[in-house]
Structure 1
Amino acid sequence: IHMREKMGNRILGCDDCQLVCPKNKKIIKQLKPLEKIQDIIDIKEILIHAKTGLKKHMSSIAEFVGYNYARPQKIITMAVIAAGNSNDSSYLPLLADTMQYPNSTIRAYSAWAVGKLGGDEAKNLLLTALGRERDLNVQEEIQLALLNTEECCS
């Protein structure tokens, strides 16, 4: 959990590392001066298209990180963590969707992210998810997230 918080809103780990990597030199030169990795890899777009497998976005992501690293589940997981660290409650409806994702790790991280954002809406989403969740690890993550919403809202 502490690692998730330290990641901040970075989807690809250290974005600075991506910018200075010699493998990315060609693609970096093609970028417009103000364009950054965050402009190419949008957290909301990833979460919106998580259900479709992100085919539209994977080629541009792979340009930066390579095709072996650019796997939909990994990218969705990183976007969920970034959303949780954003302090932006507009991510809650998208995270509600990822809390129903087939992959249990994504569901668990989504619960953490919802709890991190906090508030009454987050608490309601977590309670709903807890009622349907069957995976014990995800249930535990939801319960921890619920504790977080109670601490932040007390």
Structure 2
Amino acid sequence: MKVAQLQQSIREYAHAIGIDKIGFTTAAPFLELKNRLKRQQELGYQSGFEESDVEKRTEPTLLLDQAESIIAIAVAYPSKMDASPKGKKGERRGIFCRASWGMDYHVVLREKLQLLETFIATQVPDAKMRSMVDTGELVDRAVAERAGIGWSAKNCSIITPEFGSYVYLGEMITNIPFAPDTPMEDECKDCTLCLDACPTGALIQGGQLNAQRCIAFLTQSKKPIPEEFRAKIGNRIYGCDTCQTVCPKNKGKYNLHQEAFAPEPQLTKPLLTPMLKLTNRQFKESFGHMSGSWRGKNPIQRNAILALAHFKEEASVPLLAELLVSDPRPLIRGTTAWALGEIATAEAIEAVQQALQTEEDPGVRIELNNVLESEQRKC
């Protein structure tokens, strides 16, 4: 089969297995990206989750011998949830970002790429292929941009005309010399809504992100969240959608057609206080199929405590007071101390005072003392 025919057959098969967009590009180095990544490292803007070797992130031939092309795919995910549960006083809810609704996208896209690999192998038995989704060395957005999937937007997402920026990305490096698709023109133009709306100023300029300030990163960190960001987390317990929801290109893009990503309302907007009582096993049983569970329950529970502080949920004080003295994790005790200081009822402050008498962890003691010093300044 000729390469052009194979390329068309791959496009048709991709759509048949639920891939929403597919594009092709060369395996040439991403030279401009290499310079940007090195600059990001120098500025300390990286999250730490990405591959540290810039050469591997920008040189496809280092990842697959005789690489000629890269196939980029995009699968849309929903931006709208029907029957969204409403929180209320005494029953506050958190929220997982849209990219964590339904099944873990890593699993879904890997399955589709595996099907694609199998299909190509039936046509070209000696084809070499290597696929990756999100956690691979290549920068998904850079590949998608060059393959014509969409343009690289100021909010550091790929925006597609059909689905907005609500798309998951993956790619496959291969030794087959496919004809490259044409990149799209940047349509952000002079719009700066995403930069203006970012709660923490993480979007430094169009297309440049300081991950250390990004709420999506902060909610995944296993460390205590710096105090300057805590109140800005709101009721987000995983991820952040602000720079997407304000984007005009996402208006009316609901993308409800992928069943695997259909949101489960009680899980995507869970009650906060029950989350604080979950064991590891219970957490995995309820949330383990979601991409937002990948860091385990500790960061999620910490974020749930911040959300209760955001709501100043007085009904949660007895539970928080119990966690403050009985939870074995300094991360949880320290966050709980801050939250009780934000709620600041007499019962909350009394719980902080009592905990200080027995707390031994230096970091938690700092949090406790900060609360009491803040209260003294109010007097």
- Equivalent residue runs for 1:126-137 within 5 Å: 126-137=352-363
- Equivalent residue runs for 1:29-44 within 5 Å: 29=262, 31=264, 37-38=268-269, 41-44=270-273
Shift, 1:108, TM fit: 0.4
SS in 2 for 1:63: coil
For each residue in 1:2-47, what CA deviation from the matched residue of structure 2 results, as whole angstroms up to 9, or x when unmatched? 2111001111132677xx9x9xx54542546xx6721xx2211112
The count of residues paired between Structure 1 and Structure 2 equals: 140
Structure 1 runs (4+) greater than 2 angstroms displaced: 25-32, 54-69, 147-152
TM-score, normalization by structure 1 = 0.76
Of 327, 331, 335, the residue aligned with 1:109 is 335
**Within 2, Cα distance between the matches of 1:58 and 1:83?**
22
Determine if contact 2:306/2:339 at 8 Å carries over to the other structure. Answer: yes
- Name stretches of at least 5 consecutive residues in structure 2 with no aligned partner: 1-226, 245-252
SS in 2 for 1:102: coil
- Equivalent residue runs for 1:2-151 within 5 Å: 2-14=228-240, 25-29=258-262, 31=264, 37-38=268-269, 41-47=270-276, 49-50=277-278, 53-69=279-295, 71-99=296-324, 100-151=326-377
TM-score, normalization by structure 2 = 0.34
Structure of greater Rg: 2
Shift, 1:83, TM fit: 1.2
The RMSD of aligned alpha carbons is 2.6
More strand, by proportion: 2
- Name stretches of at least 5 consecutive residues in structure 1 with no aligned partner: none
Determine if contact 2:341/2:371 at 8 Å carries over to the other structure. Answer: yes
Aligned pair in 2 of structure 1 residues 9, 151: CA closer, same or farther (>3 Å)?
A: farther
Determine if contact 1:116/1:149 at 8 Å carries over to the other structure. Answer: no
What letter corresponds to residue 97 of structure 1 in structure 2?
E
Determine if contact 1:15/1:37 at 8 Å carries over to the other structure. Answer: no
Determine if contact 1:126/1:142 at 8 Å carries over to the other structure. Answer: yes
